[in-house]
Amino acid sequence: MAKKKKSSKQRTDFRKHHQGRVRQGDLTRDFAGGKELADLSHGERVSGKGDLTRKRTVIAESEADAAIAEAELMTGRVISAHGLKSKVMTDDGTMYECAIRQVLKSLSIDGRSAVVAGDHVWFRAQSPQDGMIERVGDRHGIICRTSRGQQHVIVANIDYLLIIASAAQPGLKPVLIDRFLLTAKQCDVEPVIVINKVDLVDTAPLQPIIGAYAALGYRVLMTSAESGMGVDYLRELLHGKQTALAGQSGVGKSSLLNVVQPGLGLAIGRVSTDNDKGRHTTTSSQLIPLAGGGAVFDTPGIRQFQLWDISAGEVAGLMPDVRPYVSACRYPNCLHLSEDDCAVKDAVADGRIDARRYDAYCHLLEDDLLTITR
């Protein structure tokens, strides 16, 4: 009697809209035995334990069969993701336009998308240009924000986060810089602050702000895509690293990349003279390999960056200049806003904490985090 093949089973949560009981209305498909090919192909299927179950069982073939199936897959990195399609580049530079398996889209995840730019994926080639993403590798170094109550992962698997701000057109926004710094700290990514368009202003008024960030250990770089100031240093910084560029619309992210690597030809837009805001020219995150090694991610301009998975009580601990005073407050749950005997407010009054940073802290808590929890 032949031995029965062993299979591995794993119980997993699915998205809520995939859990509800629905009317079995497609009698033709049921009679013909029609199935979702994306779910049943290549040794894996999904089954339920009753109509009202909140989980599904993902059943794979034996380890030997799984190894054979995986050997047939190709590996690559997601260059960009647009809805249900993703552009994937293999190690030899071949480009594929890949769809995503239905089971990956159905799995219960916090993010809006199962695949984002920067992901390492395994896919099955279906033609010289098309493929199907079968598996997504583990992520590290992600940059994300809250969007419609969900985690919106902008990029994944990066080393640096270049926080691009502009000295003018649009003006410098320390509050937005601080939000990116908090996210970088939370995600264990090294931030670098880049102040672009310095050719448009006198840089003397910027020195107190630059000095405040530099004193906290952050690297601050002044650049100009127009004059070339700081471009050589930036090019050397990007060499061999995986780096994401983030900032509001119009600060010159694409312009800087065009200067760092001539010939890219990334679209750039003008800043509106009516409201001093940039227009969106980059519509989705895009991985751009660099000629000297490494890669950069050109991300869409962000006018509002709402933190993900950071509570009001955690913000002070993520700020290196505020953190030393937190434990000295009278109340252990002090938010450093209106409480009595607050060591943080005393440090601000004595000049040990920069007043601009404290204002950004108050703005973040009062306008975003505390409004959500009320």
User: What's the whole-model pTM score?
Assistant: 0.73
pLDDT at 120: 93
The most confident of the ranges 135-139, 213-217, 344-348 is 344-348
Instruction: Give CA 155 to chain center in angstroms.
Output: 4
pLDDT at 310 over 50: yes
Q: What does the pLDDT read at residue 336?
A: 95
Question: By mean pLDDT, which of 15-29, 143-157, 236-250, 307-321 is the weakest?
Answer: 15-29
Distance CA 48, CA 46 (A): 7
Domains of the chain: 74-136 (2.40.50.140), 155-298 (3.40.50.300), 312-373 (1.10.40.50)
- The annotation places the binding site at 196-199, 247-255, 329, 334, 336, 342
pLDDT for 103 beyond 90:
no
| Binding residue numbers for GTP | 196-199, 247-255
Residue (of 47, 51, 42, 53) closest to 9 by Cα position:
47
Among 25-34, 149-158, 185-194, the least confident range? 25-34
Q: What span, in angstroms and rounded, lies between the C-alpha atoms of 179 and 315?
A: 10
Question: In the prediction, which pLDDT does 274 show?
Answer: 44
Distance of CA 348 to the CA centre of its chain: 32
For the stretch 335-372, pLDDT in tens is: 999 899 999 999 999 999 999 889 989 988 887 665 44
Confidence band for 173, pLDDT divided at 50, 70 and 90: confident
Bond before 174 cis per omega within 30 degrees? no
To the nearest whole number, what is the mean pLDDT of the chain? 78
- Residue ranges of the binding site for Zn(2+): 329, 334, 336, 342
Check residue 111 and give its pLDDT: 57
Return d(Cα 120, Cα 72) in angstroms, integer: 16
- Per DSSP, what are the bridge partners of residue 111? 151
